[in-house]
Chains A and B, each alone.
Chain A
Amino acid sequence: MTWCEWPGVLIGNEAITNYGCRMFGGLALTLQLVTVSIVLGALLGVGLALTRLFGGTIAAGAANAFMTFFRGTPLICQLFLVYYGAGQFRTSLEAVNLWWFFREAWYCAAFTFTLNTAAYQGEIYRGAIQAVTRGQWEAARALGLRWSQILRTVVAPQALMVALRPLGNEVVIMIKSSAVASLVTLFDLMGTTRLAFARSFDLSVYLFAALLYLVMVEAVRRLWDVAERRLTRHLVRS
């Protein structure tokens, strides 16, 4: 007996025993999708925030439109747009050698999640950068620092502290929303659970999945609390 069957055996539930291993495999896929999209989304999000704050009118407007679209529409709609929509442009995608990417549901989901979280994270970073007072910029400039130096050494560390909490919320939201990946044939935690339910018709697999999601979310929350305490340890707390 492998470890992933233990939870089911422990509570004496046949369906969870039978599908436990598949569900933990799905959990790994969920974590994979979330990690990839959060990290890539962070890079893109910083770019979006900087474009909106410091870019020219056209660039800032484009970044704004991108963010408005991805924040104003449901993730499931975006995912279907990419996943089903890409199939329609197969010949053109093949011509530019991108079909291998949009053929795979995993890439489509990771791609959509990345763009989605980039829009939300961009908004977080923009607010955080704006929360750094002007005096900091002026003082840094008076010291003769270049724009990129100011951003990197003065503004970014302070902005990161402001961004940390909403960023944790965004990770939690991403873990939860990633469940829609199951609707485009992916066997993430939600997908494997749906499969388990369709075969066993035992509702407890859903409850077990809910528990696993809860544990993930709670773990992120705890981790974030630790990180926040550590990053703000030089500040006086009331």
Chain B
Amino acid sequence: MDYFFGLLFGPKGWAGNLASGALITISLALATLPFGLALGLAVALAKRSGSVILRGLATVYATVFRGVPELLTLYIVYFGLQLGLQRGWKMLGFSSNLDMPAFVAGMIALGLVLAAFSSEVWVGALNAIPKGQREGAQALGLTKGMTFRLVVLPQLVRLALPGLGNNWMVLLKETSLISVIALPDLMFWTGRANVVTKEPFFFFGVACMIYLVFSLISSAGIDMLERRVGRGFVSGSGGQR
């Protein structure tokens, strides 16, 4: 027991590194969230728009990013942007190398995937808002933008929350893939600790437990949020999902 305690908190313990990795994992997930959700909403609106081209593009986007493994998306974004960036950098006349920050690559890749999955949730929520709400807003003389902002959006959040909560849980776990492009996240430091100490079962077990705690906290937080945004609604027969 003392031995394992020392592995984490001893003079050469790994607790500090794991904590810094966990912080990166959380920051990456939190940084990806607004970007992915906003893009997802945009894709959802495109899917419901009157333009055939926009609808087609949105559908293709969602199909592609929901069908390709996240790991592959990550590689394509990381190496693709890297190559593109370097080509552009050279064209601007610089001779030095410009590296794609792994954090940004991860954020973009995970955000693109999150957008594809959350767009489905947004579409479902948009469809669940009764037509009368929009018609009522129109009758009151609100513009299209105002209708969306003042009438649709507040209701949308409540309707989309269960699905978006799900998206968040998936995202949180997907951040673990980022270690393959050498971002020092939780998985990265766990791998390091394993190489140095030769205690893989212990360290990967600890990492799994940390992820599990994040998941449990998230799911409790989402429950709380759902209760809060739904507090104006009677949750009677069968709940309100």
Contacts and interface: CB of A to CB of B under 8 A. Distances in A.
B204 A179 contact: no
B72 A72 contact: no
B224 interface: no
Interface in B149-201: 173-174, 176-177, 180, 187, 190-191, 194, 198-201
B236 interface: no
B208 A214 contact: no
Contacts of A89: 201
A179 B63 CA distance: 18
Contacts of A194: 75
B79 interface: yes
A176 interface: yes
B68 interface: yes
B83 A203 contact: yes
Contacts of B176: 74, 76-77
Nearest to B83: A203
A197 B79 contact: yes
B69 interface: yes
Contacts, number: 109
Interface in B64-82: 64, 66-73, 75-76, 79-80
Contacts of A182: 71
Contacts of B70: 176, 179
B72 A210 contact: yes
A180 B178 CA distance: 12
Nearest to B186: A77
Contacts of A81: 200-201, 204-205, 208
A208 to B, nearest CB: 11
Nearest to A79: B204
Given A76-B187, A84-B194, A217-B67, A190 B72 contact: yes
Contacts of A76: 176-177, 187
A195 B232 CA distance: 56
A69 B217 CA distance: 14
Given A73-B173, A89-B201, A207-B76, A68 B212 contact: yes
Q: What does DSSP make chain B's interface, helix, strand, loop or mixed? A: helix
A74 B194 contact: no
Given A206-B79, A214-B64, A88 B215 contact: no
Interface string B124-142: 0000000000000000000
Nearest to B77: A206
Nearest to B180: A183
B79 A203 contact: yes
A81 B174 CA distance: 17
Given A76-B177, A203-B76, A84 B204 contact: yes
Contacts of A179: 69-72
B4 to A, nearest CB: 13
B216 interface: yes
Interface of A: 68-69, 71-78, 80-81, 84-85, 87-89, 172, 175-180, 182-183, 190, 193-194, 197, 203, 206-207, 209-210, 213-214, 217-218
Interface of B: 63-64, 66-73, 75-76, 79-80, 83, 173-174, 176-177, 180, 187, 190-191, 194, 198-201, 204-205, 207-208, 211-212, 215-216
5 closest A-B pairs by beta carbon, nearest first, are A85-B201, A84-B200, A72-B215, A74-B176, A179-B69
27 contacts: A68-B216, A69-B208, A72-B212, A72-B215, A76-B177, A77-B207, A77-B208, A77-B211, A80-B187, A80-B200, A80-B204, A81-B208, A84-B194, A84-B200, A84-B204, A88-B201, A89-B201, A183-B180, A190-B71, A194-B75, A197-B75, A206-B76, A210-B68, A210-B72, A213-B69, A213-B72, A214-B63
